[in-house]
Amino acid sequence: MIRISAKWTERIAFFFLLVSTLIIIIPVILITVMIIQKGLPAMNLEFLTESPRLGMRAGGIFPAILGTVYLVLGTMVFALPIGILAAIYLSEYARDNWLTRAIDLAIVNLAGVPSVVYGLFGLGLFVIFLNFGTSILAGSLTLAIMSLPVIITASREALGTVPQSFREVSLALGATRWQTIRRVVLPNALPGIMTGTVLALSRAAGETAPILFTVAAFYLPKLPQSVFDQCMALPYHLYVIATQVPKIKPHVQYGTALVLIVMVLVMNLSAILIRAHFRKKKHW
């Protein structure tokens, strides 16, 4: 057997490491370029502000954009307060005992439940058992429970980065525990909480399976009037026009994909900007 020198083994190994990295990175770039290139021609005012016509083949995707915005807002309304309170409990109150470990386990498992199972759960609980029907309310609640683990984990981490001395000083001045949390800990952790929340919401915006049976409509002639109405949503609309509408022009499909990606990216970018902005202001 020929012995390859250590130097050459390293070169060969690093070459393969580079190749595997490129196999992952290049498709990401190709996909992005493809969606932008083929989706951009669809972009015009009509596409963004009007309803679909001719069985989704013409017109715009405005109801789907609006529906996704409603769902994201609804998700935020339900998930943010509970998420922050839960994170406060875990960061400020919880001791190292069996209950805390059980909560940790539950969070990890909630994060791992497949999105379609959330859809089933939302259907069983909100749509049928609580009788909300297929509605924005049911969809938002389903997405909110799905987003909780991400928001809790991020908020808890943000609370954890606030130095212990801040709390001690506040308590030493005679503030109660809750006053300390509200006036000292929370304001300092807010950027981290916002970043985590926006990331969780951007994920919720792109989800399809949880909204399939809880809210999403194939096509609606008019915009939703209340939280008990169904709505169209971008991810589901893309699914519909990608699989169930024959002879549709590709630029409508790519255009929808582009709008969805841009929405998700704008949310991601704003999360990154929030983080960067507040990091500069931190003095500790």
Q: Are 195 and 275 in contact (CB under 8 A)?
A: yes
Per-residue contact track with another protein, 74 to 93, x per CB under 8 A? -------xxx-xx-xxx-xx
Report CA-CA distances (Å) from 75 to 10, 32, 144, 146, 248.
50, 27, 5, 9, 32
CA angle 80, 86, 89 (to 5 degrees): 140
Q: Which of residues 106-125 bind another protein (CB under 8 A)?
A: 106-121, 123-125
SS3 178: helix
Q: Pick from 248, 268, 270, 275: which binds another protein (CB under 8 A)?
A: 268
Neighbours of 239 (CB within 10 A): 17
SS3 216: strand
- Kindly state the number of chain residues that form the binding site for another protein, as judged by CB under 8 A: 92
Q: Which of residues 18-37 bind another protein (CB under 8 A)?
A: 18-21, 23-25, 27-29, 31-32, 34-35
Stretch of residues binding another protein (CB under 8 A), selected from 57-65, 145-153, 186-194, 223-231: 145-153
What is the Rg, in whole angstroms, of the alpha carbon atoms belonging to the chain? 23
β-bridge mates for residue 58, sequence order: 53
Give the nearest distance from C-beta 12 to another protein in angstroms.
9
Give the nearest distance from C-beta 6 to another protein in angstroms.
5
Give the nearest distance from C-beta 175 to another protein in angstroms.
6
Give the nearest distance from C-beta 40 to another protein in angstroms.
15
Helix (H) or strand (E) holding 59, with range, is strand 58-59
Q: Is 159 a binder of another protein (CB under 8 A)?
A: no
Q: Which of residues 194-253 bind another protein (CB under 8 A)?
A: 202-203, 205-209, 212-213, 235-236, 238-239, 242-243, 250, 253
Per-residue contact track with another protein, 38 to 77, x per CB under 8 A? ----------------------------------------
Q: Pick from 36, 220, 227, 261: which binds another protein (CB under 8 A)?
A: 261
**Residue tagged 């809880």 (tokens):** 214
Structure tokens, 33: 């370029």
Stretch of residues binding another protein (CB under 8 A), selected from 50-58, 98-106, 190-198, 274-282: 98-106
User: CB under 8 Å to 169, separation ≥6 — which residues?
Assistant: 184
Q: How far apart are CA 71 and CA 116, in angstroms?
A: 17
